[in-house]
Structure 1
Amino acid sequence: MKCAALTGISPDLIRDLRSGRPRTIEIQSTQNIVTIANVEPGPDVQIFLTSTDAEDLGPGDSGICVDLLSSAISMKRIVEYSQGNYYEERERMSARVQVKYCFSSVVREVFREKIYSPTAVEVLKSSCYHAG
């Protein structure tokens, strides 16, 4: 299954998502914002989350697939004043996404054209069986 990938996600957050409850996370990584900007939320839209950095992502890396329930991208403007006359203006883009855990998975192939293009991966659904 081919899907968008968000990289560099905290292992603690991934562990928390495995509980099955929907969570809203804020993303500030440029690579992840570019990726999420190209995905429309929907009932059957899944994205791959991994703690591996984008540069290191490759076949065999593990993560989880989540349903993308909603997403919003916003720009925050920050103005800092100093010494009365000098001020500095900065902008920071961030994305807030609400996701819900689906299943654990492993990367089969990575699709990335350039550094500021969306990251996509083909994943394999991991199967785990317990004797009972």
Structure 2
Amino acid sequence: MKMTALTGIAGGVISELKQGKPRTIELQSTNNVVSVAALEPGPDTHLFLTSVDLEDLSAGDVGIIVRVLSVNINMKRVIDYIHPVYYEERERLSARVQVSYCGNSMAKSVEIGSICRPVVVEAVKAAHYHAI
């Protein structure tokens, strides 16, 4: 199944999501913010999350599939004080996405386009069988 990928997600966040509780992730990486900006939350909207960096993402990398519950894109104002007289003010675009865990997965193929396009992967959901 083809889906948008979020890369460079901390391993601790992924393991916490695997416990089954919905979590909100704040994204500041440009490629991740662009990837979630066009998403519409719903029962059929899924993401592939991996701890692998965008530059290193390739077929065979493992991650998890999550369901998108909500998306919020906003601007944050950041002020840096360098000296009592001089300060720098800038804005930073960030995204908050609430997700819930669906299952383990592996990337079958990866499509990385230009900087303003989301990363798309063909993901295969892992199936585990136990013989008794």
Same fold (TM over 0.5): yes
Q: TM-score, normalised by structure 2?
A: 0.93
How many Å separate the matches in 1 of 2:127 and 2:91?
43
- Residue in structure 1 matched with residue 45 of structure 2 by the alignment: 45
- Residue in structure 1 matched with residue 73 of structure 2 by the alignment: 73
The two structures, once aligned, show a CA RMSD in angstroms of: 1.2
Question: How far off its partner does 1:77 sit?
Answer: 1.0
How many Å separate the matches in 2 of 1:16 and 1:78?
29
- Residue in structure 2 matched with residue 112 of structure 1 by the alignment: 112
How many Å separate the matches in 2 of 1:83 and 1:22?
43
Moved over 4 A (4+): none
Structure 2 residue 122 is the aligned partner of structure 1 residue 122: yes
How many Å separate the matches in 1 of 2:25 and 2:120?
19
- Residue in structure 2 matched with residue 97 of structure 1 by the alignment: 97
Structure 1 residue runs of 5 or longer lacking an equivalent are none
How many Å separate the matches in 2 of 1:65 and 1:80?
37
Q: TM-score, normalised by structure 1?
A: 0.93
- Residue in structure 1 matched with residue 22 of structure 2 by the alignment: 22
Query: Structure 2: which amino acid aligns with 1:111?
Result: E
Percent identical among aligned pairs is 54
Structure 2 residue runs of 5 or longer lacking an equivalent are none
How many Å separate the matches in 2 of 1:80 and 1:106?
41
Question: How far off its partner does 1:92 sit?
Answer: 1.2
